[in-house]
Structure formats: C-alpha cells, structure tokens
Structure 1
Amino acid sequence: MSSIQSSKQSANRFESTLGGITVNGQAHSLSAWFVLALRLVFGYAFLSSGLDKVLASGWTAQGYLAGVAATNGNPLEGMFAWMADTSWFVSFVDVAVPFGELLIGLGLIVGLLVRLAAFWGAFIMTMFYFGNWSIEHGIVNSDFAYVIVFLAIAAFGAGRIIGLDRYVETYEFADGQTLLEKYPRLDYILG
C-alpha cells in the first residue's frame, strides 16, 4: 500500500451542526502538523509582542486608544474614546494587553489551556480589528484573519497536538476517572 493511500485511510473526519445546517469534511492526516504550526506561529507572535511591551519602559495603550479609533471612522469610536478618557481603564489595559499577549503566547507554545488562550487571542484581535478600523479594501484584513485563525486553533483542539493539554486532560484520579471525565466543562478551556 502506498503512503498516499495510507494517509487517505487515516484521514480525520469532522462534522458539525449549527443553526440546523450540518457541514462535514475529511482532513488529510498531515493537517495535524499544520494546526500545530498555526498554534506555534501565533503563539510566538503573541509571546514576542507581549514581551516587547512588558520590557518597554513606559509602554501605554493611551495613545492607541485615543488616536487610532477616533481618526478612521470606526463604528466603536465612542467606546474607544471612553476607554482612552477613563484612567482606571487605561491602567487596566496597560497591564492586561502586554501580560495577556505574553500568557496567550506562552499557552499556545506549550499547548496548555489552548482553548482559553485562543478565545482571549480572538478577543484581543477583535478589539484590534475595530481599533485599526479600515475597510477601504473590504472588511477582511489581517486582524480579522487572526480572529478566524484563533477560533480555528480552539476548534481543532490544537493543545492536544504535542501540547500539555493532552496530558492534563488524561490525568487520572485515584478513582480511575480522567480530569475531563470528572470535570467535562474543562473541555472548553483545554484542548
């Protein structure tokens, strides 16, 4: 049997129903490597960005919040203006963004709490999408693409591919139950 036939036989099937519409497909067995690559590349990008901000002396989101959204016709201009004018919120963002990016990146790289990390990555990129509002070339831009990739990383359970989530999920208690059997809702943050 050729390796191509072997790959096709070991392909991954997936199916989902949402709003009464069912979609299904079959992924090539090499897909796991590409999902892993997405997780690691986006993990590195966020870890690097967060580390740059944490190590930068005096980094603040104040200028971004005040300037960018107000100058480009952003539909959330008022919200960004409020964020920029609210000192406690700017102080919160000055900590949450750099350390959030750092933790998201680290989680993706080691494959721990990947769904949680991907959710927050998608949230941050959604905020950047509106903060960097620009639709002269259409509504899809790199920030929007990041949101979709983070959601795909979460959906594919990328933390189970050479990641710590795989081991955390299968941890067995004294009664023989795995962590996910005992606490099935952890599947929303692990994987």
Structure 2
Amino acid sequence: MTAATTSPDTRNTFQSTIAGYTVGGRAHSLSAWFVLSLRLMMGWAFAYSGFTKIAAGGFDSGGYLTHSAATNGNPFASVFAWMGSTPWFVEFANVAVPWGELFIGLGLLVGALVRLAAFFGALMMLMFYFGNWSIEHGVINGDFAYMLVFLAVAAFGAGRILGLDQYIENYDLGGQTLVERYPRLEYVLG
C-alpha cells in the first residue's frame, strides 16, 4: 500500500523575496472584489479630478509649485521652487497634471494598461505627498496612502479583474498570446 501524496493548495497565494527576505500570504476569495473596488475608486477619483480641471480651463500649477512647498517645512522646497519658477516646467505640469489624471483614471476604470496607469498615479501621489508636506500627525497622510493603493492595484494585476487587460494580454498573435510574444508588456498590463 502506498501513501497518497497531495500537493498543497496554492490558489490565492502570493510570495515575494526582496534582498533575501521572503514574505507571503494567502488571500481570501473576496480579495478580487476588494482589489477591483480599489481600482475603480482610484480610477473615478483621478478621472473626475482631471476632467474637472480640464473642463474649468486654465489650470495653473505655478502658484502651487512655488508657494505650497516653501511654506510647510518641505525637505524638497527648493526643488518645488525651481519647478514653479521654470516656465517650461510649469507649462509641462499645466498639461501633465489634468490630462495625466484623466488618462490614469480612464485606464483604471476600464482596466487597460493598469500597471502603467498605476505607476504614473503613484508617481503623481508621491509628488503631491511632498508638495503637500505635512507631518504634524506623522509621515503617513492621504497622499501617501493613495500612493500605496496605486502600488497595490498594480501588484495585484487589477486590470485582469473585469478589465480590458485580461483580453489584451490574451490577444492571439498566430498561436501566441500578446504577452507570450512580448513578455515585457506584463510591466504595463495587468
């Protein structure tokens, strides 16, 4: 008589090793709904914010860049002052902020290019974190938390949950999926 061997159930598990440290866990089956809701929440917030800035017309980042960071003890106050006093950068920010918010939001809402959208969303939130620098209640604030939400959306491949990324990744190119043919697309899709 031989003993039956069973492999451990690896559904809903995740593990990662960085610098020799390994962490892992097992997600609840409802986790997909929570990840989807985070994606949709951030998508709506960013699309709405970008749309209202564009619809209002005349978005101007110069005053914010020049004055906000200088008044709050920001460790990067001189960088923000340079950005606010450099005409080409102000013009770039005047376009990049509202349109970036809109496109990041739309990408998250439809679940397309989610990792790329989440990366740029996290980058914007990092800039807002330092621009809105406030540590009287600790170094963690809403901007920092939203940055982590964007990173979680990217890490969990939220575009594959009722999103277009699941279809884009599996698009058939002569017997190979798009991601099989171009593996680096996994960095922007998902």
Partner of 1:187: 186
Matched, 1:12 2:24: no
Which has the higher mean CA deviation after the structures are superposed, 56-65 or 111-120? 56-65
Partner of 2:134: 134
Task: Give the alignment's TM-score, normalised by structure 2.
Answer: 0.94
Letter in 1 for 2:168: V
Structure 2 unaligned blocks of 5 or more: 1-8
Partner of 2:109: 109
Corresponding residue SS for 1:38: helix
Q: Deviations over 1:102-151 (max 9, x none)?
A: 00000000000000000000000000000000001000000000111100
Identity percentage of aligned residues: 65
For 2:133 and 2:103, the matched residues in 1 are separated by 26
For 2:16 and 2:57, the matched residues in 1 are separated by 47
How far the C-alpha of 1:59 sits from its partner, in A, is: 1.5
Q: Deviations over 1:58-88 (max 9, x none)?
A: 2211111111001001000010000000001
Task: Give the alignment's TM-score, normalised by structure 1.
Answer: 0.93
Q: Deviations over 1:145-181 (max 9, x none)?
A: 011110000000000000000000000112x010010
Partner of 1:121: 121
Partner of 2:64: 64
Partner of 1:153: 153
Letter in 2 for 1:32: A
Corresponding residue SS for 1:108: helix
- The structure 1 segments of at least 4 consecutive aligned residues displaced by more than 2 Å after TM superposition are none
Q: CA RMSD in A?
A: 1.0
For 2:11 and 2:70, the matched residues in 1 are separated by 49
For 2:178 and 2:57, the matched residues in 1 are separated by 42
For 1:154 and 1:57, the matched residues in 2 are separated by 31
Matches within 5 A, 1:90-109: 90-109=90-109
Structure 1 unaligned blocks of 5 or more: 1-8
Corresponding residue SS for 1:118: helix
Corresponding residue SS for 2:140: coil
Number of paired residues? 182
